[in-house]
């Protein structure tokens, strides 16, 4: 039978397959979640109901139903469904299938090619999809846990509709777990198990929105219940099945940057409780402690600055303590630094001033150093007036000379604008005094 002769039948799985695989939804009525896309009148639902979906990218965390949804789309639109993984499949075999799909398209058959983890294909490999997608020979659905803006080439993105799938809520996961307990054909119904609300809440809550993880934990809990002769899944059985909370994290992925962004912005907003929480989340996810130490030092110079200049020394000490003690003992040193930074007065005046100087350096003419600021170690330099007019500040009243130090085109430019926060309030007063003395002498 030719692969393209008919639309796919609902996906079937052997009884020995994991529970998460057996319980895959076969149609939109069985699919739970993503109502922002699938409710009547919502964009993806409209595209499916049209019967001819365009190519698309499903972007979302693990275990939210990207693969199941792709299969449902294929079945609902009467398309042949071909599934590949970017981890296991090579471009040679996919190109062969795409060529066959193009032949089938000439005969009126439609093919939906599903590529799981499409972000793992490199740029050249992703380029290979373009001709077939552009000609409509295939409908491509790519699934990715990574931000497609960074991981999918722009040419392919422009030809696909990107749909963002969200983590399942606790209530949605509980709904799916109850369905699995009741389903005698594909689920655990033959075991005739009941579960307490608290047990299901534990399984759902600890799975962090990942339905596959929740199903896996339920299957283990059911096995533990059967081994103990219990007909009820209790909270204790749920805890035994879970062992360790499922944390969504990828040190090189978007969640890594989302969490460090949350930590930095919590410190900047002077919220020590939130800062500690996000720091703890990153530690629990296995983040490199020295990466966290470096970012915390950066917070001191970027957001605290001269409002509390001791913050830099404190964060460097915390980094040194982390390096000396290691984790988990050294974690507390970083936690101490984070709390201090959150409570410290805030100033980005130096950060802003340095950014302004960089902008001027890039956008203005690179003027030579004024002669009076140059050293004159040789007679020739002296004859060329190097150092002429230089005033030694220590010999001047108030230690301020009537001398400009910026290039002529930037005279009067003020980069550093201190705030009235913390120590910087005193620095602002000192700066005004220095400017007044300099203006008096000029």
Structure-token pair, residue 235: 């909270």
Pick the more confident residue, 100 or 185: 185
Instruction: Supply the pLDDT for residue 302.
Output: 94
**pLDDT (tens digit, 9 = 90+) per residue, 264-302?**
999 999 999 999 999 998 888 778 889 999 999 999 999
Nearest to 116 by CA among 58, 183, 160: 58
> pLDDT, tens digit, for every residue of 270-280?
999 999 999 99
Quick one: pLDDT band at residue 317, thresholds 50, 70, 90?
Answer: very high
Domains in the chain, CATH or no CATH each = 19-164 (3.40.50.300), 170-242 (1.10.8.60), 254-343 (1.20.272.10), 368-441 (1.10.3710)
Instruction: For residue 110, give Cα distances in angstroms to 3, 93, 239, 286, 419.
Output: 11, 19, 47, 45, 64
Instruction: Report percent pLDDT > 90 for the chain.
Output: 28
> What are the distances in angstroms from CA 212 to CA 22, 48, 98, 168?
11, 24, 30, 11
- Please give the structure tokens belonging to residue 256: 């890594």
Is the CA virtual torsion 171, 191, 216, 69 positive or negative?
negative
Choice among 60-64, 164-168, 436-440 with the minimum mean pLDDT = 436-440
Determine the pLDDT at residue 310: 95
The answer to whether the CB of 224 falls within 8 A of the CB of 237 is yes
Name which of 205-214, 241-250, 331-340, 354-363 the model is least confident about: 241-250
pLDDT band (50, 70, 90) for residue 403: confident
Which pLDDT belongs to residue 332? 94
Would you state the pLDDT for residue 308?
Answer: 94
User: How far apart are alpha carbons 83 and 70 in whole angstroms?
Assistant: 9
Please state, in angstroms and rounded to a whole number, the distance separating the CA atoms of residues 194 and 398.
84
Which are the contacts of 317, defined by CB distance < 8 A and separation ≥ 6?
333
- Residue that is written with structure tokens 């963002």 in the block: 164
User: Helix, strand, coil: what percent of the chain each, to 5?
Assistant: 55, 5, 40
| Closest listed residue to residue 141, CA positions, set 166, 109, 168, 163 | 163
Determine if residue 405 is left, alpha or beta; phi over 0 gives left, psi from -120 to 50 gives alpha, anything else beta.
alpha
Is the model's pLDDT at 38 over the cut of 50?
A: yes
Residues 6+ apart with CB under 8 A from 146: 59, 119, 250, 253, 254
What digits encode the pLDDT tens for the residues 153-207? 888 888 888 999 988 888 999 999 999 999 988 999 888 889 999 999 888 888 7
Residue with tokens 């895959």: 24
pLDDT mean over 308-312: 94
Q: Read off the pLDDT of residues 198-236 as tens digits, 9 standing for 90 and up.
A: 999 888 888 778 888 889 889 889 988 888 888 889 888
Digit-coded pLDDT (tens) for 68-81 = 999 998 888 887 78
Q: Please give the backbone phi and psi of residue 91, each rounded to the nearest 5 degrees, phi first.
A: -70, -25
- Fill in the DSSP letter of residue 55: -
Distance CA 119, CA 87 (A): 10
**pLDDT tens per residue across span 415-430:** 989 989 998 899 989 8
Using CA atoms, how far apart are residues 221 and 48, in angstroms rounded to an integer? Answer: 37
Torsion of CA 395, 398, 400, 401, to 10 degrees: -50
pLDDT at 250: 56
CA 283 distance to own-chain centroid: 16
Quickly tell me which residue has 């004859």 as its tokens. 383
Specify the length of the chain in residues: 442
- Cβ 19 vs Cβ 63: under 8 Å: no
SS3 402: coil
Which DSSP string corresponds to 116-185?
Answer: ETGGGS-HHHHHTTHHHHHHTS-EEEEEESS-HHHHS-HHHHTTSEEEEPPPPPHHHHHHHHHHHHH-TT
Q: Please state whether the predicted TM-score (pTM) of the whole model is above 0.75.
A: no
What does the pLDDT look like over 234-268, one tens digit per residue? 888 888 888 755 555 555 566 778 889 999 999 99
Cβ neighbours around 197 below 10 Å, total: 9
**8 Å CB contact between 352 and 301:** no
For residue 324, pLDDT over 60 is answered with yes
């Amino acid at each position: 039978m030719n692969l393209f002769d008919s639309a796919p039948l609902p996906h079937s799985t052997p009884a020995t397959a994991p529970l998460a695989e057996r319980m895959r939804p076969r149609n939109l009525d069985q699919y739970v979640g993503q109502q922002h896309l699938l409710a009547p009148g919502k964009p993806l639902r409209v595209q499916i109901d049209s019967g001819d979906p365009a190519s698309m990218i499903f972007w979302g965390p693990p275990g939210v139903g990207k693969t199941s949804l792709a299969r449902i789309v294929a079945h609902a639109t009467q398309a042949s469904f071909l599934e590949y993984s970017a981890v296991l499949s090579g471009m040679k075999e996919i190109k062969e299938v795409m060529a066959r799909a193009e032949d089938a398209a000439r005969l009126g058959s439609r093919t939906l090619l599903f590529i799981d983890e499409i972000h793992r294909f490199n740029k050249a490999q992703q380029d290979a999809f373009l001709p077939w997608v552009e000609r409509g020979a295939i409908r491509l659905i790519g699934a990715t846990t990574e931000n497609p803006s960074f991981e999918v080439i722009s040419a392919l993105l422009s030809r696909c509709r990107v749909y963002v799938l969200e983590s399942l809520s606790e209530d949605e996961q509980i709904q799916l777990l109850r369905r699995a307990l009741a389903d005698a054909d594909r689920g655990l119904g033959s075991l005739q198990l009941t579960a307490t609300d608290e047990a299901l809440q534990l399984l759902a809550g600890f799975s962090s929105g990942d339905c596959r993880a929740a199903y896996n934990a339920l299957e283990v809990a059911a096995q533990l219940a059967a081994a103990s002769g219990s007909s009820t899944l209790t909270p204790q059985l749920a805890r035994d099945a879970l062992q360790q909370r499922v944390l969504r994290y990828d040190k090189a992925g978007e969640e890594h940057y989302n969490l460090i962004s949350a930590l930095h912005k919590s410190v900047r907003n002077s919220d020590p409780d939130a800062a500690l929480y996000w720091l703890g989340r990153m530690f629990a996810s296995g983040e490199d402690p020295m990466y966290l130490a470096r970012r915390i030092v950066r917070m001191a110079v970027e957001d605290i600055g001269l409002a509390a200049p001791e913050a830099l020394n404190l964060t460097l000490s915390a980094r040194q303590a982390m390096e000396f003690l290691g984790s988990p003992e050294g974690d507390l040193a970083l936690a101490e630094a984070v709390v201090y930074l959150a409570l410290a007065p805030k100033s980005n005046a130096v950060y802003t001033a340095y950014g302004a100087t960089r902008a001027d350096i890039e956008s203005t003419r690179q003027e030579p150093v004024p002669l009076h600021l140059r050293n004159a170690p040789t007679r020739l330099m002296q004859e060329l007036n190097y150092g002429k007019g230089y005033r030694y500040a220590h010999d001047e009243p108030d230690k301020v000379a009537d001398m400009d130090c910026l290039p002529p085109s930037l005279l009067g430019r003020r980069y550093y604008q201190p705030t009235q926060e913390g120590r910087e309030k005193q620095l602002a007063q000192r700066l005004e005094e220095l400017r007044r003395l300099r203006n008096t002498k000029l």
